[in-house]
Each structure stands twice: as structure tokens, then as C-alpha cells.
């Protein structure tokens, strides 16, 4: 190892209450500059096996699954710790993940409220009891399943890790969290925050940064009865098939292709900035990215021209520049992948309204920057419309009637979210009831509340996160019948 490499921080795993190294080290890269900012221990099956063993031991030997007061206290303390380190987490997230400052701060801000809401669910969690015949009772207990396997994607590692971990811990499960190599330095800081939380028993939370071998081990292990996975639909299908051999419980939040449905009577002054942010937030690397713009014919010309003027003005740049409005993609491989998708769409008949594309000149050329792109299409069966792009590429399609808008919005295997824009009093709710999606915003986008469920229809997933239903992926129901008799 050269002197420069030895001076870089080494991000390690957190397993069984201790920092763990691996035999293989890889590099952490700033996607805005291509600079190597650290090294990380790359985990595989060996680390996953030890993490599962630790979590299983903690589940059976500690009071974690039995002591509600302990779980409430720990989740509240975890929330405090995330708030105390919010600035540090956001700064590192900007550097390693590429998010501009406001977006990184927003992601980190999701952690504490989610933990506190789940702490409240612990206090309100109850089973059922009934005397269904004199002296004969039934009691239903909701008990934790055991070790929960959690797989976290690189696009929002802090927010999405907590979104799955909080309900798992609230239910009384212990956890093994597989986190991505692209955010290894952030993973290590998150692990440090968790490791310093008072009263958290050793082995309850284990965090491994690693490869597909880690999630494969979690899916195959008989000691991990439930998996919470956020990622692509293709991977969700693959792990579901593999886990079927053990009748594994899966909570899946998968891909999305969110339609923005803009009617003639929409307030375009309000809609335009939300359409822009829906495309550029996290550089379009977001399962709820507004990637399909469906516009009623009477509004189409105006909206097209305004977006043609607006999108090229988005300030693309590194998070270190406070004026940056959109950061880089996660790496240059994804820049090339997205540009191939756009070129294929143009070859297939899409019209370029705003070409955008890779930044190839100047200092930004060192990073993984891709300018926002707007393509107009007439065929909703095109790959650019049907497949998740995971980048700042928006398609626009014109419709005439409500029925046509609903048909186009639902013409997708995905059903994660949708946004409806109209000043009509009755129309938005009427349309919302017909849209096949788990979250629908009316005259807004990306509003999420811990009190209300989030998840997908169709191939966008199964189960729900946030809300009361988020505990369901981690609980079993036990029916106990008592015959105590009567006096």
C-alpha cells in the first residue's frame, strides 16, 4: 500500500459490537471529481455469516424482543444521535453520493422522525383478546420474526436504511443490514452513530458493506426469515424466486416510472418548479423521479416551451458549490448507460426538446455529470417510456381526455407513485382513484409522511413501509386459546 492510500480513511463493517475488516479493500470515489476519498472493507459471504450469527444470538439471548420499554428508549436515543450528527452525515453524503447540500440535508432529516414514529408504534402496539364463550378466551400476540435482512441501495443510503431498520427494530427483530460499496464512507459513519447509541444490545444491529454475495446469503439463510429490500424490480424478482425455497417473507420497494399528469386547467406556475425538481432531485436517481410527463393538449405547447427554456438553466455542479442545483450521477458508467438509452430512444422516433446529456468539457468533465433531458414521444410502448432510466431524463406525451390520461398513466408495469395537476375541484380525486399506484400527489410531488404508508402496486413492490403497516413485514401472529372456566 502506498503512502497516499495508507493516509485515506478505511471504512469497516460493524458486526457483533465490533469493527471488522475484510481481506479485500476497495476505493471510495467522489462522483463529482473522480477523486479517491477513502478505502473500504469489501464484505462477502464470510462477513454476512458472522453478522447473521451475531443477530441470531442477540435475538435469543438479549431482552430486545421482550422489552418494549428498552426498544422505545433505544429508538428515541437513535433519533437523537442522528440529529446530533446530521450536519456531518449530510456533508459526507454530498461528497460520496453527489447530492447537493439541500438534498443531502433532506435525506438525513428523514431518519430521526422515522425512528421516533416507530418508537411510538412500539408503545401503541397491541394484540387482541376476546372471551368468545363463557370462560373461553382467545389471545392474539404479534411477535417478532427473528433476524431481519435489510438491503439498502446507494441512491439514498441514510434515509432508506432507517426506513427499513426502524420498523424491524420496533417489531423486536434484530438486523443484518447490507449496505452498498458506493457509499461505504457514509455507511461507516452511520454505523458509528448506531454503535454509540446507549442501551442498544450488542449484535442487535450489524452492518456489512458488500457485494451481491451478502444479500444472497441473507436470502438463502434459514436463520433470516424476513427480508426488506429496496432496489430494482429485476433484483426483487430474483431474490423472491431464490427465497421461495424457504418461504421467505419479503418486503420489497422496487422500481418506478412516475407519471406527472397535467391538465389544461393546471396552475403551470406551481407545476413547473415541481416538474423540474421531480426530474433533477438526486439527479433523477430516485424511485419516485417524475420521468413521464403526460400533458393535456390545450396545455402542451405552453408547457413544452417553458420546459425548453427552463431545463437548460438548471445549474449542474458539485455539492461543494453552493449554487449547484443538481449533482452528478453516482459514476461515469451510469452516465454512459443513460446516454445509450437516450440515443436509442431518438433512433426509435423520440423527438429531442432538450438534449442535455454528458458534460464533456471544462472542470465538470472529471465527474459523472449529466444535464437534464426532455424527449417527446407518441408511442407509450417505447423502452424510454416503459423502462426505469434512473437518471434526469423526462419523456413528454400529449393526451386529450381523462380516460386517455388514465390509460397512459397505467400503461406501465410499475405502480409506485403518480402526480396529478388540475384546479378542478372533483377531477384529481376521481383520477387518483383510477390510477394504479401506491402514492398519489395532487398538485404536489414527493410528500412523504411517517404516519402514512408508502409502497408500490404491480411490479413496484409488495408490502408497505412507513405508516402502521410497516411493522407487518417483521411480525408473526400467534393465537393462544385459554379455557379458564367460569365461577
**Residue 446: its H or E element:** none
Query: What's the rounded Cα separation, in Å, for the pair 175 and 14?
Result: 12
Q: Are 320 and 18 in contact (CB under 8 A)?
A: no
Query: What's the rounded Cα separation, in Å, for the pair 84 and 340?
Result: 43
The owner of cell 454475495 is 213
The set of catalytic residues is 253, 287
Query: What's the rounded Cα separation, in Å, for the pair 400 and 403?
Result: 9
Query: What's the rounded Cα separation, in Å, for the pair 367 and 358?
Result: 10
Query: What's the rounded Cα separation, in Å, for the pair 71 and 77?
Result: 10
**Residue 280 grid cell:** 433533477
**Residue 366: its H or E element:** none
- How far from 257 is each of 186, 278, 338, 387, CA to CA, in Å? 28, 11, 15, 7
Q: Are 314 and 373 in contact (CB under 8 A)?
A: no
Query: What's the rounded Cα separation, in Å, for the pair 90 and 106?
Result: 8
**Residue 54 grid cell:** 451475531
Amino acid at each position: 500500500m502506498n503512502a497516499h492510500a495508507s493516509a485515506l480513511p478505511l471504512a469497516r463493517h460493524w458486526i457483533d459490537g465490533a469493527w471488522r475488516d475484510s481481506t479485500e479493500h476497495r476505493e471510495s470515489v467522489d462522483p463529482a471529481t473522480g477523486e479517491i476519498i477513502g478505502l473500504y472493507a469489501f464484505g462477502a459471504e464470510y462477513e454476512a455469516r458472522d453478522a447473521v450469527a451475531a443477530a441470531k444470538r442477540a435475538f435469543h439471548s438479549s431482552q430486545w424482543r421482550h422489552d418494549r420499554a428498552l426498544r422505545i428508549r433505544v429508538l428515541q436515543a437513535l433519533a437523537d444521535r442522528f440529529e446530533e450528527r446530521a450536519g456531518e452525515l449530510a456533508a459526507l453524503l454530498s461528497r460520496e453520493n453527489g447530492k447537493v447540500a439541500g438534498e443531502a440535508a433532506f435525506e438525513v432529516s428523514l431518519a430521526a422522525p422515522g425512528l421516533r414514529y416507530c418508537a411510538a408504534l412500539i408503545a401503541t402496539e397491541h394484540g387482541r383478546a376476546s372471551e368468545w364463550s363463557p370462560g373461553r378466551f382467545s389471545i392474539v400476540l404479534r411477535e417478532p420474526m427473528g433476524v431481519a435482512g435489510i438491503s439498502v441501495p446507494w441512491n439514498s443510503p441514510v434515509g432508506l436504511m432507517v426506513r427499513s431498520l426502524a420498523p424491524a427494530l420496533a417489531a423486536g427483530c434484530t438486523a443484518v443490514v447490507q449496505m452498498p460499496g458506493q457509499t461505504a464512507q457514509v455507511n461507516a459513519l452511520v454505523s458509528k452513530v448506531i454503535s454509540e447509541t446507549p442501551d442498544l444490545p450488542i449484535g442487535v444491529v450489524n452492518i456489512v458493506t458488500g457485494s451481491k454475495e451478502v444479500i444472497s446469503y441473507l436470502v438463502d439463510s434459514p436463520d433470516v426469515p424476513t427480508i426488506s429490500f429496496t432496489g430494482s424490480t429485476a433484483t426483487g424478482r430474483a431474490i423472491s424466486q431464490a427465497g421461495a425455497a424457504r418461504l421467505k417473507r419479503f418486503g420489497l420497494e422496487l422500481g418506478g416510472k412516475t407519471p406527472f399528469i397535467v391538465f389544461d386547467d393546471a396552475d403551470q406556475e406551481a407545476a413547473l418548479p415541481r416538474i423540474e425538481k421531480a426530474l433533477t432531485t438526486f439527479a433523477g436517481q430516485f424511485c419516485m423521479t417524475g420521468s413521464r410527463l403526460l400533458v393535456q393538449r390545450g396545455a402542451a405547447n405552453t408547457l413544452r416551451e417553458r420546459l425548453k427554456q427552463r431545463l437548460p438553466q438548471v445549474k449542474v455542479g458539485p455539492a461543494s458549490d453552493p449554487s449547484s442545483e443538481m449533482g452528478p450521477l453516482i459514476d461515469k458508467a451510469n452516465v454512459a448507460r443513460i446516454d445509450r438509452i437516450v440515443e436509442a430512444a431518438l433512433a426509435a422516433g423520440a423527438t429531442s426538446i432538450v438534449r442535455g446529456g454528458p458534460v464533456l468539457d471544462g472542470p465538470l468533465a472529471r465527474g459523472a455529470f449529466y444535464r437534464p433531458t426532455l424527449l417527446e414521444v407518441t408511442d407509450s410502448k417505447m423502452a424510454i417510456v416503459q423502462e426505469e432510466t434512473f437518471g434526469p431524463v423526462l419523456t413528454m406525451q400529449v393526451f386529450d381526455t381523462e380516460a386517455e390520461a388514465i390509460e397512459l398513466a397505467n400503461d406501465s408495469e410499475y405502480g409506485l407513485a403518480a402526480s396529478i395537476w388540475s384546479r378542478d375541484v372533483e377531477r384529481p380525486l376521481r383520477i387518483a382513484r383510477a390510477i394504479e399506484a401506491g402514492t398519489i400527489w395532487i398538485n404536489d410531488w414527493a410528500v412523504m409522511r411517517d404516519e402514512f404508508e408508502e409502497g408500490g402496486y404491480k411490479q413496484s413492490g409488495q408490502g408497505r413501509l412507513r405508516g402502521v403497516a410497516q411493522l407487518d413485514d417483521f411480525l408473526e401472529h400467534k393465537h393462544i386459546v385459554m379455557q379458564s372456566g367460569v365461577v
